[in-house]
Structure 1
Amino acid sequence: MTPGYELPLLLFSGFRTLIDRLHEELARQGHPEVRPAYGFALQAIGADGATASELGRRLGVSKQAAGKTVDRLSRLGYVERAASVADARAKVVRLTPLGLDLLTRSAEIFDELRAEWVRELGEEGVAGIEAGLRTVTPSGTRVDAVAWFGAWA
Protein backbone atom coordinates (compact mmCIF):
# COMPACT_ATOMS: atom_id res chain seq x y z
CA MET A 1 0.00 0.00 0.00
CA THR A 2 1.27 3.47 -0.90
CA PRO A 3 1.75 5.75 2.12
CA GLY A 4 -0.69 8.65 2.24
CA TYR A 5 2.04 11.27 2.43
CA GLU A 6 3.17 10.40 -1.10
CA LEU A 7 -0.01 11.78 -2.71
CA PRO A 8 0.58 15.47 -1.89
CA LEU A 9 4.27 15.10 -2.74
CA LEU A 10 3.46 13.57 -6.13
CA LEU A 11 0.83 16.23 -6.83
CA PHE A 12 3.29 18.97 -5.91
CA SER A 13 6.04 17.36 -7.96
CA GLY A 14 3.74 17.24 -10.99
CA PHE A 15 2.81 20.89 -10.48
CA ARG A 16 6.45 21.88 -10.02
CA THR A 17 7.50 19.97 -13.12
CA LEU A 18 4.88 21.76 -15.24
CA ILE A 19 5.72 25.19 -13.83
CA ASP A 20 9.48 24.70 -14.23
CA ARG A 21 9.02 23.58 -17.84
CA LEU A 22 6.68 26.54 -18.47
CA HIS A 23 9.28 29.02 -17.24
CA GLU A 24 12.09 27.41 -19.21
CA GLU A 25 10.03 27.83 -22.37
CA LEU A 26 8.87 31.35 -21.48
CA ALA A 27 12.52 32.35 -21.05
CA ARG A 28 13.30 30.96 -24.51
CA GLN A 29 10.36 32.92 -25.93
CA GLY A 30 11.50 36.27 -24.54
CA HIS A 31 10.20 36.34 -20.97
CA PRO A 32 13.27 35.36 -18.91
CA GLU A 33 12.43 37.54 -15.89
CA VAL A 34 9.03 35.99 -15.18
CA ARG A 35 8.66 34.11 -11.90
CA PRO A 36 5.86 31.72 -10.85
CA ALA A 37 4.39 34.27 -8.43
CA TYR A 38 3.94 36.71 -11.32
CA GLY A 39 1.73 34.23 -13.15
CA PHE A 40 -0.59 34.00 -10.17
CA ALA A 41 -0.73 37.80 -9.97
CA LEU A 42 -1.44 38.22 -13.68
CA GLN A 43 -4.23 35.64 -13.48
CA ALA A 44 -5.68 37.48 -10.46
CA ILE A 45 -5.56 40.81 -12.31
CA GLY A 46 -7.38 39.26 -15.26
CA ALA A 47 -8.76 40.85 -18.39
CA ASP A 48 -10.81 43.43 -16.47
CA GLY A 49 -8.00 44.61 -14.20
CA ALA A 50 -8.07 45.01 -10.43
CA THR A 51 -7.26 47.54 -7.76
CA ALA A 52 -4.39 46.74 -5.38
CA SER A 53 -6.94 45.91 -2.68
CA GLU A 54 -8.83 43.54 -4.97
CA LEU A 55 -5.59 41.96 -6.08
CA GLY A 56 -4.52 41.45 -2.47
CA ARG A 57 -7.84 39.76 -1.65
CA ARG A 58 -7.65 37.52 -4.69
CA LEU A 59 -4.07 36.49 -3.89
CA GLY A 60 -4.62 36.22 -0.14
CA VAL A 61 -1.99 38.87 0.65
CA SER A 62 -1.99 42.39 2.04
CA LYS A 63 -2.64 45.40 -0.17
CA GLN A 64 0.99 46.39 0.42
CA ALA A 65 2.35 43.01 -0.73
CA ALA A 66 0.12 43.17 -3.80
CA GLY A 67 1.38 46.70 -4.45
CA LYS A 68 5.01 45.53 -4.37
CA THR A 69 4.24 42.83 -6.90
CA VAL A 70 2.43 45.35 -9.10
CA ASP A 71 5.50 47.59 -8.89
CA ARG A 72 7.72 44.72 -10.09
CA LEU A 73 5.32 43.74 -12.87
CA SER A 74 5.04 47.39 -13.93
CA ARG A 75 8.84 47.81 -14.08
CA LEU A 76 8.98 44.71 -16.28
CA GLY A 77 6.23 46.09 -18.54
CA TYR A 78 3.55 43.46 -17.83
CA VAL A 79 1.02 45.75 -16.13
CA GLU A 80 0.17 49.42 -15.89
CA ARG A 81 -1.80 51.50 -13.44
CA ALA A 82 -4.71 53.49 -14.84
CA ALA A 83 -7.50 55.63 -13.40
CA SER A 84 -10.62 53.69 -12.49
CA VAL A 85 -13.71 54.44 -14.55
CA ALA A 86 -15.90 53.75 -11.50
CA ASP A 87 -13.87 55.79 -8.96
CA ALA A 88 -11.52 58.56 -10.08
CA ARG A 89 -9.60 58.26 -6.79
CA ALA A 90 -8.78 54.59 -7.37
CA LYS A 91 -6.09 53.15 -9.61
CA VAL A 92 -6.76 49.97 -11.54
CA VAL A 93 -3.97 47.62 -12.52
CA ARG A 94 -4.36 46.45 -16.09
CA LEU A 95 -2.43 44.01 -18.23
CA THR A 96 -0.30 45.58 -20.96
CA PRO A 97 0.11 44.01 -24.40
CA LEU A 98 3.28 42.38 -23.02
CA GLY A 99 1.28 40.97 -20.10
CA LEU A 100 -1.36 39.61 -22.46
CA ASP A 101 1.39 38.11 -24.62
CA LEU A 102 2.80 36.36 -21.57
CA LEU A 103 -0.59 34.87 -20.66
CA THR A 104 -1.23 33.80 -24.26
CA ARG A 105 2.17 32.13 -24.52
CA SER A 106 1.66 30.47 -21.13
CA ALA A 107 -1.66 28.99 -22.26
CA GLU A 108 -0.06 27.66 -25.45
CA ILE A 109 2.86 26.17 -23.52
CA PHE A 110 0.52 24.51 -21.03
CA ASP A 111 -1.36 22.97 -23.96
CA GLU A 112 1.96 21.58 -25.24
CA LEU A 113 2.90 20.26 -21.79
CA ARG A 114 -0.48 18.57 -21.43
CA ALA A 115 0.04 16.98 -24.85
CA GLU A 116 3.39 15.60 -23.62
CA TRP A 117 1.61 14.04 -20.64
CA VAL A 118 -0.98 12.57 -23.02
CA ARG A 119 1.82 10.98 -25.04
CA GLU A 120 3.22 9.45 -21.82
CA LEU A 121 0.00 8.50 -20.03
CA GLY A 122 -2.62 8.43 -22.80
CA GLU A 123 -5.60 10.74 -23.18
CA GLU A 124 -7.70 8.59 -20.84
CA GLY A 125 -4.98 8.67 -18.19
CA VAL A 126 -4.64 12.46 -18.24
CA ALA A 127 -8.40 12.97 -18.47
CA GLY A 128 -8.78 10.62 -15.50
CA ILE A 129 -6.30 12.63 -13.44
CA GLU A 130 -8.11 15.86 -14.32
CA ALA A 131 -11.56 14.42 -13.62
CA GLY A 132 -10.41 12.95 -10.32
CA LEU A 133 -8.89 16.24 -9.19
CA ARG A 134 -12.05 18.13 -10.15
CA THR A 135 -14.01 15.68 -8.00
CA VAL A 136 -11.91 16.04 -4.85
CA THR A 137 -11.04 19.74 -5.01
CA PRO A 138 -13.34 22.65 -4.26
CA SER A 139 -14.92 24.30 -7.27
CA GLY A 140 -13.14 27.25 -8.81
CA THR A 141 -9.49 27.89 -9.41
CA ARG A 142 -7.57 29.60 -6.65
CA VAL A 143 -4.62 31.89 -7.29
CA ASP A 144 -3.65 32.40 -3.66
CA ALA A 145 -1.21 29.46 -3.58
CA VAL A 146 1.86 31.65 -3.29
CA ALA A 147 0.55 33.33 -0.13
CA TRP A 148 -0.57 29.96 1.20
CA PHE A 149 3.01 28.70 0.89
CA GLY A 150 4.18 31.84 2.68
CA ALA A 151 6.52 32.67 -0.17
CA TRP A 152 5.09 36.03 -1.14
CA ALA A 153 7.70 38.78 -1.22
Structure 2
Amino acid sequence: MSATADDGRPGFELPLLLLAGFRALIDELHAELARQGHPHVRPAYGFAMQAIGPGGATASEVGRRLGVSKQAAGKTVDRLEELGYAERVDDPTDGRRKLVRLTGRGVDALDRSAVIFDGLRARWAAELGPGRLADLEDSLRTMAPAGLGVDAVSWLAGG
Protein backbone atom coordinates (compact mmCIF):
# COMPACT_ATOMS: atom_id res chain seq x y z
CA MET A 1 0.00 0.00 0.00
CA SER A 2 1.41 3.37 -0.94
CA ALA A 3 1.21 6.53 1.10
CA THR A 4 -0.86 9.32 -0.40
CA ALA A 5 -1.19 13.03 0.19
CA ASP A 6 -4.33 14.37 1.86
CA ASP A 7 -6.01 14.69 -1.54
CA GLY A 8 -5.56 10.99 -2.32
CA ARG A 9 -2.98 11.44 -5.04
CA PRO A 10 -0.04 9.04 -4.76
CA GLY A 11 3.31 10.71 -4.09
CA PHE A 12 5.16 8.77 -6.78
CA GLU A 13 3.20 10.56 -9.50
CA LEU A 14 4.68 13.98 -8.72
CA PRO A 15 8.24 13.28 -9.92
CA LEU A 16 6.88 11.36 -12.91
CA LEU A 17 4.68 14.31 -13.91
CA LEU A 18 7.56 16.76 -13.46
CA LEU A 19 9.83 14.54 -15.55
CA ALA A 20 7.15 14.12 -18.22
CA GLY A 21 6.68 17.91 -18.42
CA PHE A 22 10.44 18.43 -18.65
CA ARG A 23 10.74 15.73 -21.32
CA ALA A 24 7.85 17.19 -23.34
CA LEU A 25 9.47 20.63 -23.37
CA ILE A 26 12.93 19.31 -24.22
CA ASP A 27 11.62 17.00 -26.97
CA GLU A 28 9.63 19.86 -28.53
CA LEU A 29 12.66 22.16 -28.30
CA HIS A 30 14.89 19.68 -30.11
CA ALA A 31 12.32 18.91 -32.79
CA GLU A 32 12.05 22.62 -33.53
CA LEU A 33 15.83 23.12 -33.41
CA ALA A 34 16.14 20.34 -35.98
CA ARG A 35 13.59 22.08 -38.22
CA GLN A 36 15.61 25.29 -37.87
CA GLY A 37 18.90 23.75 -38.98
CA HIS A 38 20.30 22.17 -35.82
CA PRO A 39 19.40 18.47 -36.14
CA HIS A 40 22.39 17.17 -34.18
CA VAL A 41 21.93 19.17 -30.97
CA ARG A 42 21.17 16.91 -28.01
CA PRO A 43 20.14 17.91 -24.47
CA ALA A 44 23.64 17.25 -23.13
CA TYR A 45 25.08 19.58 -25.77
CA GLY A 46 22.71 22.34 -24.67
CA PHE A 47 23.87 21.97 -21.07
CA ALA A 48 27.49 22.01 -22.26
CA MET A 49 27.01 25.10 -24.43
CA GLN A 50 25.41 26.87 -21.45
CA ALA A 51 28.42 25.81 -19.34
CA ILE A 52 30.83 27.20 -21.93
CA GLY A 53 28.94 30.47 -21.81
CA PRO A 54 29.53 33.70 -23.73
CA GLY A 55 33.06 34.20 -22.38
CA GLY A 56 34.29 30.67 -22.98
CA ALA A 57 35.73 28.23 -20.47
CA THR A 58 38.43 25.60 -20.13
CA ALA A 59 37.42 21.95 -20.39
CA SER A 60 38.03 21.66 -16.63
CA GLU A 61 35.65 24.57 -15.97
CA VAL A 62 33.04 23.03 -18.25
CA GLY A 63 33.37 19.78 -16.31
CA ARG A 64 32.99 21.53 -12.95
CA ARG A 65 29.96 23.49 -14.15
CA LEU A 66 28.32 20.30 -15.42
CA GLY A 67 29.38 18.14 -12.49
CA VAL A 68 31.29 15.72 -14.72
CA SER A 69 34.95 14.78 -15.08
CA LYS A 70 37.32 16.79 -17.22
CA GLN A 71 37.52 13.76 -19.52
CA ALA A 72 33.72 13.56 -19.93
CA ALA A 73 33.56 17.30 -20.57
CA GLY A 74 36.40 16.94 -23.07
CA LYS A 75 34.48 14.27 -25.01
CA THR A 76 31.41 16.50 -25.16
CA VAL A 77 33.54 19.46 -26.28
CA ASP A 78 35.14 17.23 -28.93
CA ARG A 79 31.68 16.40 -30.27
CA LEU A 80 30.62 20.07 -30.18
CA GLU A 81 33.77 20.89 -32.17
CA GLU A 82 33.00 18.15 -34.73
CA LEU A 83 29.49 19.58 -35.17
CA GLY A 84 30.77 23.16 -35.47
CA TYR A 85 29.24 24.48 -32.23
CA ALA A 86 32.48 25.11 -30.30
CA GLU A 87 36.16 25.64 -30.91
CA ARG A 88 39.33 25.43 -28.84
CA VAL A 89 41.56 28.48 -28.93
CA ASP A 90 44.61 29.68 -27.01
CA ASP A 91 43.63 31.35 -23.74
CA PRO A 92 44.66 35.02 -24.12
CA THR A 93 45.40 35.24 -20.37
CA ASP A 94 47.45 32.01 -20.14
CA GLY A 95 49.18 30.59 -23.20
CA ARG A 96 49.46 27.16 -21.56
CA ARG A 97 45.68 26.70 -21.53
CA LYS A 98 43.09 26.13 -24.22
CA LEU A 99 39.80 27.95 -24.00
CA VAL A 100 36.60 26.47 -25.37
CA ARG A 101 34.44 29.07 -27.11
CA LEU A 102 31.12 28.87 -28.84
CA THR A 103 31.21 29.42 -32.58
CA GLY A 104 28.58 31.46 -34.40
CA ARG A 105 26.70 28.20 -34.93
CA GLY A 106 26.76 27.50 -31.18
CA VAL A 107 25.52 30.98 -30.34
CA ASP A 108 22.80 30.60 -32.98
CA ALA A 109 21.63 27.31 -31.43
CA LEU A 110 21.42 28.89 -27.96
CA ASP A 111 19.68 32.01 -29.28
CA ARG A 112 17.14 29.89 -31.16
CA SER A 113 16.64 27.72 -28.05
CA ALA A 114 15.76 30.79 -25.99
CA VAL A 115 13.17 31.91 -28.55
CA ILE A 116 11.73 28.39 -28.81
CA PHE A 117 11.49 28.08 -25.02
CA ASP A 118 9.65 31.41 -24.90
CA GLY A 119 7.20 30.05 -27.45
CA LEU A 120 6.73 26.82 -25.52
CA ARG A 121 6.11 28.76 -22.33
CA ALA A 122 3.57 30.92 -24.15
CA ARG A 123 1.79 27.79 -25.35
CA TRP A 124 1.69 26.41 -21.78
CA ALA A 125 0.33 29.78 -20.58
CA ALA A 126 -2.38 29.67 -23.26
CA GLU A 127 -3.29 26.10 -22.30
CA LEU A 128 -3.15 26.43 -18.51
CA GLY A 129 -3.81 30.13 -18.18
CA PRO A 130 -1.11 32.67 -17.33
CA GLY A 131 -1.97 32.70 -13.62
CA ARG A 132 -1.84 28.92 -13.23
CA LEU A 133 1.49 28.77 -15.05
CA ALA A 134 2.93 31.57 -12.90
CA ASP A 135 1.70 29.75 -9.78
CA LEU A 136 3.37 26.54 -10.99
CA GLU A 137 6.65 28.34 -11.64
CA ASP A 138 6.52 30.13 -8.27
CA SER A 139 5.78 26.86 -6.50
CA LEU A 140 8.68 25.10 -8.21
CA ARG A 141 11.00 27.99 -7.27
CA THR A 142 9.90 27.55 -3.65
CA MET A 143 10.48 23.81 -3.63
CA ALA A 144 13.58 23.51 -5.82
CA PRO A 145 17.01 24.84 -4.90
CA ALA A 146 18.23 27.97 -6.67
CA GLY A 147 19.68 27.23 -10.08
CA LEU A 148 19.82 23.74 -11.45
CA GLY A 149 21.51 22.56 -8.27
CA VAL A 150 22.47 19.14 -9.64
CA ASP A 151 25.07 17.84 -12.01
CA ALA A 152 22.30 17.44 -14.54
CA VAL A 153 24.27 15.83 -17.33
CA SER A 154 25.75 13.01 -15.26
CA TRP A 155 22.59 12.71 -13.15
CA LEU A 156 20.36 12.29 -16.21
CA ALA A 157 22.84 9.79 -17.64
CA GLY A 158 22.75 7.75 -14.43
CA GLY A 159 26.26 8.70 -13.29
TM, length-normalised to structure 2: 0.92
SS of residue in 1 equivalent to 2:96: coil
Q: Does 1:54 align with 2:61?
A: yes
Displacement of 1:90: 0.5
Q: Which structure 2 residue ranges, 5 or more long, are not aligned?
A: 1-7
Match of 1:135 among 139, 142, 147: 142
Contact 1:38 1:69 in 2 (8 A): yes
CA 1:27–1:69 in structure 2 vs 1: closer, same or farther (change >3 Å)?
Answer: same
Cα distance in 2 for residues equivalent to 1:106 and 1:3 = 34
CA 1:42–1:57 in structure 2 vs 1: closer, same or farther (change >3 Å)?
Answer: same
Partner of 2:45: 38
Partner of 2:107: 100
Q: How does 1:1-153 map to 2 (within 5 A)?
A: 1-142=8-149, 144-150=151-157
Q: Which structure 1 residue ranges, 5 or more long, are not aligned?
A: none
SS of residue in 1 equivalent to 2:94: coil
Displacement of 1:143: 6.8
Give identity over the alignment, percent.
66
Letter in 2 for 1:144: D
Cα distance in 2 for residues equivalent to 1:147 and 1:94 = 22
Q: Of the two structures, which has the highest relative contact order with CA contacts closer than 8 Å and spacing of 6 or more?
A: 1
Cα RMSD for the two superposed structures: 1.2
TM, length-normalised to structure 1: 0.95
Cα distance in 1 for residues equivalent to 2:147 and 2:75 = 26
Cα distance in 2 for residues equivalent to 1:93 and 1:13 = 33
Cα distance in 2 for residues equivalent to 1:143 and 1:50 = 19
Contact 1:81 1:94 in 2 (8 A): yes
Cα distance in 1 for residues equivalent to 2:71 and 2:105 = 24
SS of residue in 2 equivalent to 1:80: strand
Contact 1:40 1:144 in 2 (8 A): no
Cα distance in 1 for residues equivalent to 2:12 and 2:158 = 22
Cα distance in 2 for residues equivalent to 1:111 and 1:101 = 15
Displacement of 1:119: 0.8
